[in-house]
């Protein structure tokens, strides 16, 4: 059953969609079927005045009004201009950094409340006018006491409660999907929502974001590919984040990049290398790479460098999943579709009884047509639809632990399409994967792994002798106990045997007495002596017993 709070929120979502003239999303949504009658009973459905504007603008305004989860969804899909009409993609792109801000005075009060000091004591200067506003937080510019420029990120007021409420709605919709859509169990909607729950609640902790930024900066220290701003941890709390201000060109500003004669092809190829480096070498990747979070440092136009911000969402993979993914990528680039099918079965991503040759043929049918083509000539909308059909046919379950990586891949591919549509994704990525695979099996890597695990091995060796002694003592104790138990068992067996012998003697003695008594009763001639003998024998046996 849907709780009252969730039902009220669903009705609120419905009112917002109707108010912005998006009725078709309500009437066409399968998950609203149990509540659809309420749509027709609401006065707003029949009498409320609809707002004007294009469909893209109305979608954007509705997302802004509905809150952070809807804004984040709009941000994610806005990068896929190949899947969306241009007018909708252009409007949703405004959600990346142009969400309506909250008052600067509230931001100042939140900073002072969180850090425990007046803003004037913490910073040399502070601009109450926000530099950018996003779904969960907004950013202000400031300077430190020593004059260094920084940005101050402040969590929106009441954001945790808003997120928890909408997560309840997502859980309810997932439950409705399981109940009313036969295919939903394969998509594992409750697991996917639980994974998103963990991700977005982590994003609300700005101290966690500071830690993520520091880790990413260490990973790319000295790299010409990516720059990560410095974090000032003494000014960071769960609600406030202070880090170095960077001055770069937003990745979506293609005209300015071209005006500065930035090497766009190299920039696009570097983006692919950054992604695979994060995934394969570091197993720690920036998972919110929409254009609002990616900048270009164009001091050297021939060797442009990326700069990233907003580290609230990062991803890591289980080593086993990472091995399977890398194997899938390599097999795909080699067009070894049988290996792709085998890896899917081995990993458990498809049911164990799946026929490998059938899955191999299905994967070949989908993937072969897109090889040797630049992004501009690939219809990923068609490819995705065909992949979904393949997944449905083979009962392929969604892997919640991979959803964050899949979202990042979609963002990366969308950015590449905007930046340099002629990019040959396969040609760029394949050498990186091969180099990683060769490095994984190289003697140097194996030696490094052995060296890394050497302290654990030594500790295990040191712990082995006392452990063996204890095991020997326990074994001796068990043997002694076993010996005692064996003796007790033998004694018990002796008692049972003796009891059986006594029982047998009793039966024989009783028989002799009975026979002797009958003989004495019925015989009067000298044969009565036989009865007397039998009776005497019975008495003797009783005595022996």
**Residues annotated as part of the active site:** 288
- Rounded Cα distance, 285 and 276, in Å: 9
Query: For residue 85, what are its two tokens?
Result: 């009409």
Q: Give the Å distances, CA to CA, from 358 to 327, 365, 390, 394, 395.
A: 19, 11, 11, 9, 13
Residue 139 belongs to what H/E stretch? strand 137-143
Cβ–Cβ contacts within 10 Å for residue 9, how many?
19
Q: How far apart are CA 434 and CA 10, in angstroms?
A: 49
In the sheet with 305-308, reading across from the earlier edge strand, the strands are: 226-227, 305-308, 294-297, 249-250
Expressed in angstroms, the distance from the first to the final Cα of the chain is 78
* H or E stretch covering 365: helix 356-367
By the 8 A CB rule, do 307 and 271 touch? no
Strand-pair category, 226-227 with 305-308 = parallel
**Pairing mode, strands 294-297 and 249-250:** antiparallel
Q: Is the distance from CB of 295 to CB of 215 less than 8 angstroms?
A: no
Whether the CB-CB separation of 392 and 343 falls below 8 Å is answered with: no
Backbone angles phi, psi at 136, to 5 degrees: -110, -30
**Cα–Cα distance between 66 and 71 in angstroms, integer?**
8
Count CB neighbours of 487 within 10 A: 10
Report DSSP state, residue 100: P
CA 544, CA 509: separation in Å to the nearest integer? Answer: 10
């Amino acid at each position: 059953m849907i709780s009252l709070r969730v039902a009220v929120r669903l009705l609120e979502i419905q009112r917002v969609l109707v108010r912005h003239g998006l009725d078709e999303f309500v009437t066409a949504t399968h998950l609203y079927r149990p509540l659809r009658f309420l749509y027709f009973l609401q006065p707003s459905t029949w009498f409320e005045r609809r707002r004007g504007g294009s469909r893209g603008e109305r979608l954007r305004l509705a997302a802004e009004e509905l809150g952070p989860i809807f804004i984040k969804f709009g941000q994610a899909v806005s990068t896929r201009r190949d899947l969306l009409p241009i007018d909708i993609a252009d409007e949703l792109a405004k959600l990346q950094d142009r969400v309506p801000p909250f008052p600067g005075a509230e931001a100042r009060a939140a900073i002072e409340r969180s850090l425990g000091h007046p803003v004037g004591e913490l910073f040399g200067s502070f601009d109450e006018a926000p530099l950018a506003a996003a779904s969960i937080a907004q950013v202000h510019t400031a300077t430190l006491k020593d004059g260094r420029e920084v940005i101050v990120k402040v969590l929106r007021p009441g954001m945790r409660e808003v997120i928890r409420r909408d997560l309840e709605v997502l859980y309810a919709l997932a439950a409705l999907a399981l109940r009313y859509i036969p295919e939903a169990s394969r998509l594992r909607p409750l697991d996917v929502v639980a994974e998103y729950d963990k991700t977005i609640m982590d994003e609300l902790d700005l101290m966690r974001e500071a830690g993520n930024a520091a880790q990413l900066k260490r990973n790319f220290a000295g790299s010409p590919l990516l720059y990560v701003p410095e974090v000032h941890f003494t000014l960071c709390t769960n609600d406030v984040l202070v880090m170095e201000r960077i001055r770069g060109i937003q990745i979506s500003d293609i005209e300015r990049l071209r005006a500065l004669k930035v090497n766009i092809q190299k920039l696009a190829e570097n983006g692919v290398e950054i992604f695979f480096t994060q995934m394969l070498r570091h197993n720690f990747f920036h998972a919110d790479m929409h254009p609002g979070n990616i900048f270009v440092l164009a001091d050297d136009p021939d060797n442009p460098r990326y700069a990233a911000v907003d580290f609230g969402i990062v991803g890591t993979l289980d080593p086993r999943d990472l091995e399977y993914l890398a194997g899938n990528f390599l097999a795909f680039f080699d067009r070894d579709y049988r290996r792709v099918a085998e890896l899917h079965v081995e990993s458990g991503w498809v049911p164990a009884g799946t026929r490998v040759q059938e899955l191999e043929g299905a994967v070949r049918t989908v993937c072969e047509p897109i090889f040797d083509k630049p992004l501009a000539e690939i219809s990923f909308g068609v490819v995705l639809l065909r992949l979904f059909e393949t997944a449905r046919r083979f009962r392929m379950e969604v892997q919640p632990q991979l959803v964050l990586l899949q979202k990042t891949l979609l963002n990366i591919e969308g950015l590449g399409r905007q930046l340099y549509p002629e990019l040959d994704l396969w040609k760029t990525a394949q050498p990186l994967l091969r180099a990683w695979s060769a490095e994984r099996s190289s003697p140097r890597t194996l030696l490094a792994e052995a060296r890394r695990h050497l302290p654990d091995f030594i500790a295990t060796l040191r712990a082995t002798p006392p452990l063996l002694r204890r095991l020997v003592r326990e074994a001796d104790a068990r043997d002694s106990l076993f010996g005692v138990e064996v003796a007790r068992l033998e004694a018990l067996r002796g008692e049972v045997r003796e009891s059986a012998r006594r029982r047998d003697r009793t039966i024989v003695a009783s028989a002799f007495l009975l026979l002797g008594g009958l003989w004495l009763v019925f015989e009067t001639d000298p044969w009565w002596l036989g009865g007397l003998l039998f009776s005497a024998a019975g008495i003797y046996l009783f005595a022996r017993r």
